[in-house]
Structure 1
Amino acid sequence: MAPYDFNAPDADIVFRSSDGKELRVHRLILSLSSPVFQGMFGLPQPSTEILNIDIPDPSCALEPFIQYLYPLSPPRVTDISMWAALYTIAEKYGAEAVMEPLRDMLICRFLETSPLRVYALASRWGFTEEARIASRKTLTMDIFKHFPPEDAELMGGGACQQLYLLHFNRREAARALVEKHPLPVSTDSSCTCSPLNCKRVVSALSQRVGTRPWLTAEELCEEIAKGDYPKKCGNNCRNALKNVHAYFTSLLRALSDLPQTI
């Protein structure tokens, strides 16, 4: 559906945004959706046919917010900055009918592309479960190398410290686990060769978990694919590549037991 154009001839209120855009809206709909608007419209007003009200919010946030209040197709929120602007204005006007669907979409729509910002926003508004989910996803990032100051400001000092501790503790635990994790023993008694080049693999993985402490199954598969592991051992058996997979599988299982969330 096309966005509502807020130009209805039967509108009884005109909102003027901070950037000068006028939106013709209906008193009844807004009063039912927001206690702040209800109180605003209940104040004594000049006796004019249409009530004109200046709203101290930009049209880029005000317009999609009011569209949410109407029984029409809601605006599609595709940008996390737009999400934050909408939730801010919805909270300001006490519009729970807008706040609830926005909260529901935070994880499903933005976690994959913006885990750190999702964590920051979830922490900012006290979304405990969403913050936990996002904190795990941030483990695919190196926050010690790059931590946007705007995210740190959003989440506050306490949430920022929690995330740093999670990354530091998991990074150190993952590095220690990689360096001590035993290589699998071949089940074939005739196989006497090492299942993989131990020093090279351990060094590479230790470096990786030092910067990206959440080592995923996909990353392990990439490590196997790009590695020069033999498909056969020296005795011409076929256990070498099998042992490589066994090593990575057991390592991933051990890594999954490490701390994962704040």
Structure 2
Amino acid sequence: MSGFSEYTNERATYHPKFDSEEGDIILRSSEGTLYRVPSFVLRTTCGFFGSMPSLTSRSSSGSKSDTSLIPTEHPDDILSIFLLLISGLEIPIWSSFDDVCSLLQLCKSWEAPGPISIIRSSITSPFFLSDPLRLYATATHFGWEEEAKIASTHTLKLNLHDEHWEKTLSSLGVGSLLRLLRLHRSRRDKMKEMLDDITLFNAGNSGNPTTGEVPSCMSCGMTIDHHEWREFKSKVFWEMDRCAAADVIGSVEMEDWPETVACWAAKCKNEVCGRFYYDKVVTVKKLKECIARLPKTV
């Protein structure tokens, strides 16, 4: 790697930010662009280069008589940002999550903790949270627990049963995958448990089949079978299974469900009584209170 005359002809292209004669190492991207970088910068920021014998001996001798060329397998859009980061220069706005993941892999392979810490500090910005499952996968891969928790909360709006997420889910470690699935499932199951709780929803859960107690109208005593409430609970359960965030529960959209319409319209069959079984305002309030009590992170 001692000579580079074949790369100094008129066909050679240097990155405008990395073409100073102060650089004694030339990195070449997979697209052929050349980057002059001081060996000191590479040694002090990257464990990979710090242990490279040719760079260590260069440091010891203090010689700059030769410039070494090191080919890499990384494209310009990834290599350039990496070098900007380790050089303390301004970087462009992220263009895609794929680029960030590729950059993180480069940082990992070259043992560069500095750039990784910089990326981590911005990883929960709106740009990354727009793809929360990918963010969760990235955070768990690098062991970033707080970022993983934040990402897991934002995944609640996703239907993980949709095949669209299959590729990202398959990239997760078994432990991380189980934690995420457990979060989504526990919200659904906990909600069902509360919907069945007679102390929370007495109007719909009155009666006790075990003791033979039959639910009846609180005004006239006429028997009730609560089928409208059971169908409504079933709808809420499946909605929670589809979207653990439960954004629809208690919303205007929920009011359009046939099950909701039937539930609010249910009333005593005794024409003299005609009491409505389920108070809409009270029930919606309790539903929202239940959702607020559900677990939010892995």
Do they superpose with TM above 0.5? yes
CA distance in structure 2 between the partners assigned to 1:111 and 1:71 by the alignment: 23
CA distance in structure 2 between the partners assigned to 1:175 and 1:145 by the alignment: 22
Partner of 1:187: none
CA distance in structure 1 between the partners assigned to 2:57 and 2:126 by the alignment: 39
CA distance in structure 2 between the partners assigned to 1:199 and 1:156 by the alignment: 38
1:245 to 1:5, Cα distance in 2 relative to 1, 3 A: farther
Pick one of 169, 172, 184 that aligns with 1:152: 169
- Structure (1 or 2) with the larger CA radius of gyration: 2
Partner of 1:247: 283
Partner of 2:75: 58
Partner of 1:236: none
What is the deviation of 1:8? 2.7
1:21 maps to 2:42: no
Retained in 2: the 8 A contact 1:17–1:58? yes
Q: Look up the equivalent residue of 2:117 and give its one-letter code.
A: E
Retained in 1: the 8 A contact 2:50–2:56? yes
What is the deviation of 1:158? 1.8
Q: Look up the equivalent residue of 2:240 and give its one-letter code.
A: V
Aligned residues: 239
Supply the RMSD in Å over aligned alpha carbons: 3.4
Q: Look up the equivalent residue of 1:259 and give its one-letter code.
A: P
CA distance in structure 1 between the partners assigned to 2:176 and 2:254 by the alignment: 36
Alignment partner of 1:122: what SS? Answer: helix
Cα displacement string for residues 116-149 of structure 1 (whole angstroms, at most 9, x for unaligned residues): 1111111111112222222222121111233634
Cα displacement string for residues 156-203 of structure 1 (whole angstroms, at most 9, x for unaligned residues): 12211222222222222224434655289xxxxxxx9xxxx9677545
1:37 maps to 2:54: no
CA distance in structure 1 between the partners assigned to 2:281 and 2:121 by the alignment: 38
More displaced stretch, 108-117 vs 85-94: 108-117
Partner of 1:210: 241
Cα displacement string for residues 89-118 of structure 1 (whole angstroms, at most 9, x for unaligned residues): 112222222111111111224453111111
What is the deviation of 1:225? 7.2
Q: Look up the equivalent residue of 1:5 and give its one-letter code.
A: K
Cα displacement string for residues 60-84 of structure 1 (whole angstroms, at most 9, x for unaligned residues): 3211111111122123224222121
Partner of 2:23: 11
CA distance in structure 1 between the partners assigned to 2:33 and 2:172 by the alignment: 32
Percent of aligned positions that are identical: 21
Alignment partner of 1:118: what SS? Answer: helix
What is the deviation of 1:47? 8.0
Alignment partner of 1:57: what SS? Answer: coil
Q: Look up the equivalent residue of 2:43 and give its one-letter code.
A: S
Cα displacement string for residues 191-231 of structure 1 (whole angstroms, at most 9, x for unaligned residues): x9xxxx96775454333212112213x763343676798xx
Retained in 2: the 8 A contact 1:111–1:137? no
1:182 maps to 2:201: yes
Cα displacement string for residues 8-47 of structure 1 (whole angstroms, at most 9, x for unaligned residues): 3443221012332222222233333223223332256998
Gaps of 5+ in 2: 1-14, 204-218, 220-227, 266-275
Partner of 2:110: 93
What is the deviation of 1:249? 3.1
User: What's the TM-score once normalised by structure 1's chain length?
Assistant: 0.74
Retained in 2: the 8 A contact 1:174–1:255? yes
User: What's the TM-score once normalised by structure 2's chain length?
Assistant: 0.66
